[in-house]
């Protein structure tokens, strides 16, 4: 048993051909999870910013669409570039849309 533990085992091409695709698939899945996390984080941040603007007024980086019965709908569209681990040549552009209702026209 000791000889088996202390023996030098060299890797083979077959083991590399088995592990390489698994590592590549893991990296792709990790990239997708990371990009989705960034998209959800940006969505929550922009939605929070727009909601604060709808409650307290201020901020001019959103579009305001009036409603028939009074008030307005606030729409914020942002495009951000996502960080990618595998493909560095073209950035992934994400579009984040946030919507809030402002019931007070004086804001």
Is the residue at 88 inside a domain? yes
pTM: predicted TM-score of the whole model, two decimal places:
0.65
Classify 71 in phi/psi space as left (phi over 0), alpha (psi -120 to 50) or beta: left
Is the residue at 19 inside a domain? yes
Domain count across the chain:
1
Range of the domain at 11: 2-102
Is the residue at 107 inside a domain? no
What are the pLDDT digits (tens) for 3-43?
A: 655 556 566 777 778 888 999 899 889 888 888 888 888 88
pLDDT at 51 over 70: yes
Residue 1 confidence class, pLDDT cut points 50, 70, 90: low
pLDDT of 83: 72
What are the pLDDT digits (tens) for 78-92?
A: 888 877 767 767 778
């Amino acid at each position: 048993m000791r000889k088996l533990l202390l023996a030098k085992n060299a890797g083979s091409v077959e083991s590399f051909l088995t592990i390489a695709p698994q590592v590549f698939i893991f990296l792709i899945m990790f990239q997708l999870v990371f990009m989705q996390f960034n998209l959800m984080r940006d969505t929550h941040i922009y939605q929070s910013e727009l909601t604060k603007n709808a409650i307290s007024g201020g901020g001019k980086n959103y579009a305001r669409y009036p409603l028939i019965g009074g008030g307005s709908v606030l729409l914020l569209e942002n495009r951000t570039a996502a960080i990618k681990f595998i493909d560095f040549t073209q950035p992934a552009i994400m579009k984040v849309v946030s919507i809030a209702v402002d019931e007070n026209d004086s804001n």
